[in-house]
Amino acid sequence: MPILLLIRHGDNDVFKTRLAGRLPGVHLNADGLRQAQTLAQDLADAPLKAIYSSPLERALETAAPLAAAHGLDVTIHPGLIEVDYGKLQGRTYKQLKRMKVWQLVHRQPSAVQFPGGESLVELMQRTARMLDELAAQYDDQQLVACVTHGDVIRMAVTHSLGLDLDEFDRFQIATASITTLALGRGRPRLLNLNQVNHLEWPKSPAP
């Protein structure tokens, strides 16, 4: 089974007050840049085979120090992009709390269709395709990093564990956290969830 590190992007100034969604120009703030550097340091000894990212700026900026540390290119994968929240993106959380569709996200995610955007059923389908694609591309125990967004990671865990879509909202995914899945034939395995502490990797033996 290849091992997938699902990394949520670092902090930015937009997500604290409003739904960033796919808005352009949402960059990491100073804290987010520090988080990206810390991730690169924590994973310095990880034997990464590849690094994938959402095409949005905050994800690419999180992936950049990690890629530089490993001498790898960042490959944009469309399956890692943030949920298409449609007309909801850019709204404040105060506004969202008054909307029935947002209340439904926390009550019955399987029934959610974001106006002008995608449904959470569609999110699960594209997340499943992305996981299957990566599982088929890499060998047993190969380590692959994917920098993406909180709801994509929640859905990846929900799908991989064979849970009902309505369990989707029960997982906490912090910025700059790592969630690890072992993929491949048979049932995927959740190795860790929402890891925010320093990770240690065994160093290769000296030649």
| CATH number, domain containing residue 190 | 3.40.50.1240
Q: Kindly state whether residue 153 falls inside one of the protein's structural domains.
A: yes
Q: Kindly state whether residue 154 falls inside one of the protein's structural domains.
A: yes
Angle, helix 150-160 to helix 120-137, in steps of 10 degrees? 70
> DSSP H helical segments within 2-149, as ranges?
30-42, 57-70, 93-97, 100-107, 120-137
Mention every residue, 6+ apart, whose C-beta is less than 8 A from residue 193: 157, 171, 179
Task: Give the global pTM.
Answer: 0.93
Q: Kindly state whether residue 203 falls inside one of the protein's structural domains.
A: no
Torsion region of 188: left, alpha or beta (phi above 0 gives left; psi -120 to 50 gives alpha): beta
Give the integer Cα–Cα distance in Å for 103 and 108.
8
Q: Kindly state whether residue 204 falls inside one of the protein's structural domains.
A: no
Number of domains in the chain: 1
**CA atoms within a 13 Å half-sphere pointing along the CA-CB vector of 23:** 16
Q: Kindly state whether residue 121 falls inside one of the protein's structural domains.
A: yes
Structural domain span for residue 179 = 3-195
Q: Kindly state whether residue 202 falls inside one of the protein's structural domains.
A: no
Q: pLDDT digits over 40-93, tens only?
A: 999 999 999 999 999 999 999 999 999 999 999 999 999 999 999 999 999 999
Q: Kindly state whether residue 96 falls inside one of the protein's structural domains.
A: yes
Token pair recorded at residue 37: 């550097």
Identify the pLDDT of residue 197: 67
Identify the pLDDT of residue 202: 58
| Opening angle at CA 60, ends 191 and 132, nearest 5 | 45
Q: Kindly state whether residue 58 falls inside one of the protein's structural domains.
A: yes
Identify the pLDDT of residue 187: 84
